[in-house]
């Protein structure tokens, strides 16, 4: 299976299983740089065209991931000729497809029937799709505040979704317990080295696609994307494709009240933070902090001027690239920014930004309109908890105001609590609520 055996960087212990942390000393497990074919021999069609650098599987599971294009910005003067690696052109709209192609292939090798993951969205969507391709059952643990459009995509591919905990770390912990109890394959980015090995093909592809690359701007998140790209360039260097590894610049999220708008960057405890710092030092890069609102405006500008629709976390690299250009630390001709995910994974966020504020139904106050929207969400079971209602409505109001609306609707007998735990209430419409919302819908249709 392995081209090079995974080994602990500290104690040197080797492993057959695809773990990312040593079971003896908890240090990082790595695969040494691999020497593959000459660059002229590579006919790049999918990620699997780089099989010299990947584990070998009898039944690889693929949706034709990889070989994503590199394009230059043409219509934005401040970014003129900046190279963009379009990772959102992967099958499910993110770079995670590279990882899940390997991980699900490994689950098949181990004869598992169920694969269990935890993520803030893109990883889980990819897991669900590749599990469907392989005929495996998929279970995704996600934080309770996750973007609704991401949850719906997981369900479309047939995955079971369990909203668990208020943070990614809690979801990961719950997924680990569940997988162990069910004898299932655990697929979380922080535990499986195949995440790194799949995603490293981005670096290998860049070495083929851009001969003069000197700088790369990458969203940091938990750190796996940066470390993966670095691993890919290590393989390219070992194979004689490049003479040196480009400088890598990490983009982190500045902590503000709207940090939730970039969930995949809003990581409280990045599990590869120390390794990322080491990569930045070795490649003479640095970390740049950006604000969530700047990311969203940059993403919308890119869509309007270049026809490329990316998620807020992807747009972080545009904000950072502008800073780096102004500081004369990079230039556009030999730099590339990684567009990690599709804007379709954040439709609710963009819809809220486009509206500016909630549309007011004719004849109603804005407060009454919000109550009508809440009733609609509960009636259609699109959101039945206070937090998920707040998230689905774009988080434009305070969470406290949403709970106030729910209290008032309950007092008026339009909704009731169908179930309750120590942490949250689940709401449903009463008969009066259904009658009221039907009258409102008829009135709006008439107008």
Residues 268 and 402 in one domain: no
Beta strands 425-429 and 29-30 are unpaired
Residues 270 and 416 in one domain: no
Domain boundary at 293, 320, 347, which?
347
Residues 317 and 211 in one domain: yes
Q: Is residue 232 part of a domain?
A: yes
Which residue is it, tokens 């592809």?
205
Nearest-angstrom CA–CA distance, 414 and 428 = 9
Sheet holding 335-339, edge to edge: 70-72, 83-86, 335-339, 215-219, 247-253, 287-290
Q: Is residue 389 part of a domain?
A: yes
What pLDDT, on the 0 to 100 scale, is given for residue 268?
55
Nearest-angstrom CA–CA distance, 115 and 186 = 6
Residues 363 and 238 in one domain: no
Q: What is the CATH number of the domain that holds 320?
A: 3.40.50.1100
What pLDDT, on the 0 to 100 scale, is given for residue 138?
98
Residues 426 and 284 in one domain: no
List per-residue pLDDT tens for the chain, 447 residues long. Answer: 999 999 999 999 999 999 999 999 999 999 999 999 999 999 999 999 999 999 999 999 999 999 999 999 999 999 999 999 999 999 999 999 999 999 999 999 999 999 999 988 899 999 999 999 999 999 999 987 677 778 889 999 999 999 887 788 889 999 999 999 999 999 999 899 999 999 999 999 999 999 899 999 999 988 999 999 999 999 999 999 999 999 999 999 876 444 444 555 555 567 798 999 999 999 999 999 998 889 989 999 999 999 999 998 899 999 999 999 999 999 999 999 999 999 988 777 777 666 554 444 444 556 677 888 899 889 888 889 998 898 888 777 788 889 999 999 999 999 999 988 877 899 999 988 888 887 776 655 444
Domain boundary at 288, 322, 347, which?
347
Helices (H), 183-289: 194-199, 201-209, 224-238, 273-283
Residues 86 and 230 in one domain: yes
Per the structure, how many domains does the chain have? 2
Q: Is residue 104 part of a domain?
A: no
> Domain range for residue 431?
357-446
Domain boundary at 319, 347, 375, which?
347
Residues 317 and 410 in one domain: no
What pLDDT, on the 0 to 100 scale, is given for residue 180?
95
Residues 217 and 326 in one domain: yes
Residues 322 and 374 in one domain: no
Helices (H), 252-291: 273-283
pTM, two decimal places: 0.80
- At a CB cut-off of 8 Å and minimum separation 6, what does 434 contact? 379
Q: What is the CATH number of the domain that holds 392?
A: 1.10.10.10
Nearest-angstrom CA–CA distance, 410 and 345 = 33
Residues 370 and 398 in one domain: yes
Residues 201 and 280 in one domain: yes
Q: Is residue 41 part of a domain?
A: no
Two tokens, residue 1: 């299976």
Residues 300 and 436 in one domain: no
Q: Is residue 309 part of a domain?
A: yes
């Amino acid at each position: 299976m392995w081209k090079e055996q995974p080994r602990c960087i500290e104690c040197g212990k080797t492993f057959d299983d695809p773990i990312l942390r040593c079971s003896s000393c908890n240090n990082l497990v790595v695969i040494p740089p691999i020497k593959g074919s000459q660059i002229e021999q590579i006919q790049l069609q999918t990620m699997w065209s780089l099989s010299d650098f990947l584990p070998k599987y009898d039944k690889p599971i693929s949706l034709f991931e990889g070989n994503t294009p590199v394009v230059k910005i043409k219509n934005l003067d401040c970014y003129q000729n900046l190279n963009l690696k379009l990772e959102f052109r992967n099958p499910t709209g993110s770079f995670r497809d590279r990882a899940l192609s390997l991980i699900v292939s490994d689950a098949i090798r181990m004869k598992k029937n169920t694969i269990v993951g935890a993520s803030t969205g893109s990883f889980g969507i990819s897991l669900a799709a590749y599990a469907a391709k392989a005929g495996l059952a998929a279970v995704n643990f996600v934080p309770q505040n996750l973007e609704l459009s991401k949850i719906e995509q997981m369900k479309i591919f047939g995955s079971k979704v369990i909203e668990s905990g208020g943070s990614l770390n809690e979801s990961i912990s719950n997924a680990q317990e569940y997988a162990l109890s069910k004898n299932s394959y655990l697929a979380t980015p922080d535990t499986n080295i195949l995440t790194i090995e799949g995603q490293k093909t981005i670096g290998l592809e860049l070495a083929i696609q851009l001969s003069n690359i000197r700088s790369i701007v990458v969203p940091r998140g938990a750190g796996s994307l940066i470390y993966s790209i670095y691993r890919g360039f290590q393989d390219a260097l070992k194979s004689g494709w490049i003479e040196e590894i480009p400088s890598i610049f990490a983009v982190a999220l500045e902590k503000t009240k709207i940090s939730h708008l970039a969930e995949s960057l809003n990581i409280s405890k990045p599990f590869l933070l120390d390794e990322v710092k080491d990569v930045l030092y070795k490649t003479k890069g640095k970390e740049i902090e950006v604000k969530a609102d700047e990311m969203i405006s940059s993403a919308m500008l890119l869509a309007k001027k270049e026809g490329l629709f990316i998620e807020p976390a992807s747009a972080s690299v545009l904000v950072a690239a502008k800073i780096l250009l102004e500081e004369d630390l990079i230039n556009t001709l030999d730099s590339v920014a990684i567009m990690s995910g599709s804007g379709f994974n954040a439709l609710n966020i963009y819809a809220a930004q486009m509206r500016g504020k909630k549309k007011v139904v004719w004849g109603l106050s804005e407060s009454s309109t919000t109550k009508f929207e809440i009733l609609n969400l509960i009636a259609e079971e699109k959101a039945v908890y206070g937090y998920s209602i707040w998230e689905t409505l774009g988080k434009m109001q305070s969470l406290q105001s949403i709970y106030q609306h729910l209290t008032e609707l309950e007092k008026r007998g339009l909704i009731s609590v169908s179930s309750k735990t120590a942490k949250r209430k689940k709401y449903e419409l009463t008969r009066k609520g259904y009658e009221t919302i039907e009258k409102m819908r008829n009135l709006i249709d008439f107008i």
